[in-house]
Amino acid sequence: MKTLSWQDAAVRHEFSRLKAMKPFCYGLTNYVTAGLSANVLLAVGAGPAIGSAMDWPSVFGRHAHAVWINAACLMSCGPDEIRAAARAAHEGNVPWVLDPVAVGAGAPDYDAVIRSLLEFKPTAIRGNASELIALAGGNGGGQGVETTLTSDKALPFLEKVAAETGTIAAVSGPIDYITDGTTTISVSGGDARMTQMTGAGCSLGGFIAGMLANAEDRLTAVAAAHAIYSEAAERASGAIGTGSFAVQFLDHLSLLNPAE
Amino acid sequence: MKTLSWQDAAVRHEFSRLKAMKPFCYGLTNYVTAGLSANVLLAVGAGPAIGSAMDWPSVFGRHAHAVWINAACLMSCGPDEIRAAARAAHEGNVPWVLDPVAVGAGAPDYDAVIRSLLEFKPTAIRGNASELIALAGGNGGGQGVETTLTSDKALPFLEKVAAETGTIAAVSGPIDYITDGTTTISVSGGDARMTQMTGAGCSLGGFIAGMLANAEDRLTAVAAAHAIYSEAAERASGAIGTGSFAVQFLDHLSLLNPAE
Amino acid sequence: MKTLSWQDAAVRHEFSRLKAMKPFCYGLTNYVTAGLSANVLLAVGAGPAIGSAMDWPSVFGRHAHAVWINAACLMSCGPDEIRAAARAAHEGNVPWVLDPVAVGAGAPDYDAVIRSLLEFKPTAIRGNASELIALAGGNGGGQGVETTLTSDKALPFLEKVAAETGTIAAVSGPIDYITDGTTTISVSGGDARMTQMTGAGCSLGGFIAGMLANAEDRLTAVAAAHAIYSEAAERASGAIGTGSFAVQFLDHLSLLNPAE
């Protein structure tokens, strides 16, 4: 298995491609973490627009440089809107990221909408261990939006999802794993307080979309997003509590320079 | 009247019970303050999930360790969904908190939905003075989501609400009062800038739910939530403005150690 | 063309009028930036309520001291609700601000709702260059919620919007311009990181509403809101990254004293 970190030139190269493009990234996401997701994309130099307002999903889904769909957006839009955004991205050949928040946590109607999105061939799928295992048909044991398992438990399921759906699959945890079903990359490091900052995972979904907008190599770009998050989290590790950790994480994300 | 503060072992004891359980707390709340509410619960060691996405209210309402319903969630869900969550909690014997945001501020349709939730026997009700007075049938004079009265004015109404509905009722203000209709506890301290941090009250509703999940004594647990908020606010009082006050409040909340 | 800044007594005078009234400001806005908008209004001493919950739009739209409508609120309410709030403000002679987020960015159904609100005579309209140009019938070239043009390009369109609709029109950019169609005021300064803080523009819409609640001169009050933002941004310019910039911006906004 390969490992990647901020030290690798490939990571900084993909990051520089995002910064060169300043991609317009359109997202459907939940309102709990939408603000952080927008701030993450602005911090790295992308231009986010979020939400399902009237005909935004079909228009922005097709005209953005990249799209991300966080399934918990269903708390403020309906199945038709989430599907319209996924369809628009798919038909427009726009790379798009699916974050199947809380899939397998016990809500069958909600889960069915998520599964229906696979028809539109996400470019990448990211989640926590419980979610990726559930998506692959296993018993993920998710509790609400939280995982009850570590990322290594999800690895075989991750490879199954990637192979069966032809997508890049990524799981976050103490170690992150990213795979296209053939090659698997691990990313380590970070800071445990990432799990105490609401939206760390949700905003990573948006950032992955940004990295895919202008990627030279898509698997590397998705892994690079994880490595950049990990680096920013480590640079923020001097924070005294969870509030300032979130602030410093954004600070360091905005300061990370691919040319350094 | 009893008083409680962080110095009391009973407060730290109830807090340690929350930390031991790491409860899954499900909330319906407004999108203005949902991010802060999630961050507050994560800071103290709970696992929040927020929002009404498809069948989440009936599923998570029943399977969570505790539930809170902030009535202003009606800005992104309907009466059926808010009632489904309250019913699920009630039928599943899950402790739940009602925050009747802006009740009595002049919107009769909105108020009627809130009152209809009393059928599902909230474990605790928290709000500001105008809201608690209005809920008890008085003229609370609320202006939007803000109170126009101090908490001591609400005290007789608070006791009436608690006695009539069999709930624990709590009012926030310069001094907080918490009562089960028989015993009343006061909590003082804090920092005036709590009123300039959007969601201070809303997130307290979520925190109270977390404290109820594994409470030894429910009245003490609800009062302890107020005392812990007050302590964290005082420790943040060196902040220079309202922005860093919110950050430092979260920092100190995450650092408060029941064993200290 | 006049210029205004924090140094001008007229700016501080209008700000002191807001602080004297502590206006109740009701807003319909998007969930991405609602939290920041509330915190901005709380920082300056106003009392915000945000969102469309049941009958809030018709009630609070009429009874607030000022109203702002950010069109991207359509991601969590419908055309009927946004129109109810605008109608209530108009019929109640409540000053109200329209922020036509992303108008002209390619979504015709969404754009039509925004244009329909002009019937209710907004007191002020604020946006970025692409939005103001599109609203005036030009080709604004907006990309999602971002402008692709600088504010000076919007100036002739701004004057057209103001003259035709009888409103105060304001455009944000490296230099802000504010006009009633006859007199135009420019505001400079600020910090480039304002564009990397999600909701800088959205929250300015709310703040303008607050400044209009008790304005002595409405054009000056709208320009003053821009000048106060610019001053707070400059005072925050020592921040090391985008995360702490947002925190320090709020800090300085809360500390700005009209009597200084």
Identify the CATH number of the domain in which residue A181 sits. 3.40.1190.20
Cα B53 to Cα C114: distance, rounded to the nearest angstrom: 27
Q: Does residue A114 sit within a domain?
A: yes
Interfacial residues of A (vs B; Cβ cutoff 8 Å)? 30-33, 35-36, 71-76, 79, 102, 105-110, 113, 143-146, 195-199, 239-244, 246-247
Range of the domain at A192: 2-255
Give the model's pLDDT for residue B161. 96
- Asked if C181 and A21 count as a contact pair (C-beta separation under 8 A), the reply is no
Specify burial of residue B7 (Cβ count, 10 A radius: 0-12, 13-18, 19+).
Answer: exposed
pLDDT at A192 over 90: yes
Number of domains within chain B: 1
What proportion of chain C, given as a percentage, has pLDDT over 70? 100
Q: Does residue C180 sit within a domain?
A: yes
In chain A, the residue whose alpha carbon lies closest to the alpha carbon of C32 is: A35
Minimal C-alpha gap between C76 and chain A (Å)? 6
Cα B46 to Cα B222: distance, rounded to the nearest angstrom: 16
Minimal C-alpha gap between A186 and chain C (Å)? 28
Q: Does residue C98 sit within a domain?
A: yes
Cα A52 to Cα A26: distance, rounded to the nearest angstrom: 10
Cα A185 to Cα A205: distance, rounded to the nearest angstrom: 17
Minimal C-alpha gap between C119 and chain A (Å)? 20
- Does B244 contact C249 at a Cβ distance shorter than 8 Å? no
- Asked if A222 and C214 count as a contact pair (C-beta separation under 8 A), the reply is no
Q: Where are the beta strands (DSSP E) in C80-123?
A: 96-99
Minimal C-alpha gap between A165 and chain B (Å)? 25
- Asked if B186 and B177 count as a contact pair (C-beta separation under 8 A), the reply is yes
Q: Is the pTM of this model over 0.95?
A: yes
Indicate which of C25, C36, C50 best probes the interface with B, i.e. most B CBs within 10 Å of its own CB: C50
Contacts of A106 in chain B (CB under 8 A): 59-60, 63
Contacts of A77 in chain C (CB under 8 A): 75
Write out pLDDT tens, residues A90-132.
999 999 999 999 999 999 999 999 999 999 999 999 999 999 9
pLDDT at C221 over 90: yes
Binding residues of C for ATP: 126, 172
Cα B209 to Cα B190: distance, rounded to the nearest angstrom: 20
- Does C31 contact B145 at a Cβ distance shorter than 8 Å? no
Give the model's pLDDT for residue C157. 96
Q: Which tokens go with B217?
A: 């004594």
Q: Which tokens go with B120?
A: 């599902």
SS3 content of chain B, % helix, strand, coil (to 5): 50, 15, 35
Write out pLDDT tens, residues A7-42.
999 999 999 999 999 999 999 999 999 999 999 999
Which residue, among C135, C129, C125, has the nearest Cα to C68 in the 3D structure?
C125
Write out pLDDT tens, residues C79-117.
999 999 999 999 999 999 999 999 999 999 999 999 999
Give the model's pLDDT for residue A260. 84
Give the model's pLDDT for residue B260. 83
Give the model's pLDDT for residue C260. 83
Chain C neighbours (≥3 Cβ pairs under 8 A) are A, B
> Which among A30, A143, A239 is the nearest to B24, CB-wise?
A143
> Which among B42, B77, B246 is the nearest to A242, CB-wise?
B42
Q: Does residue C228 sit within a domain?
A: yes
Write out pLDDT tens, residues A78-94.
999 999 999 999 999 99
Interface ipTM above 0.95: yes
Q: Does residue A202 sit within a domain?
A: yes
pLDDT at B224 over 90: yes
pLDDT category at B55 given cuts 50, 70, 90 is very high
Cα B98 to Cα B117: distance, rounded to the nearest angstrom: 8
Write out pLDDT tens, residues A194-222.
999 999 999 999 999 999 999 999 999 99
Q: Does residue B260 sit within a domain?
A: no
Q: Does residue C69 sit within a domain?
A: yes
Indicate which of A19, A41, A60, A207 best probes the interface with C, i.e. most C CBs within 10 Å of its own CB: A60
- Average pLDDT for residues C207-236, to the nearest whole number? 98
Q: Which tokens go with A218?
A: 């898509």
Backbone angles phi, psi at A6, to 5 degrees: -55, -25
Contacts of C26 in chain B (CB under 8 A): 144
Q: Does residue B191 sit within a domain?
A: yes
Q: What's the DSSP call for residue A123? A: S
- Average pLDDT for residues C209-216, to the nearest whole number? 98
Minimal C-alpha gap between B120 and chain A (Å)? 22
Give the model's pLDDT for residue C8. 98
pLDDT at A135 over 90: yes
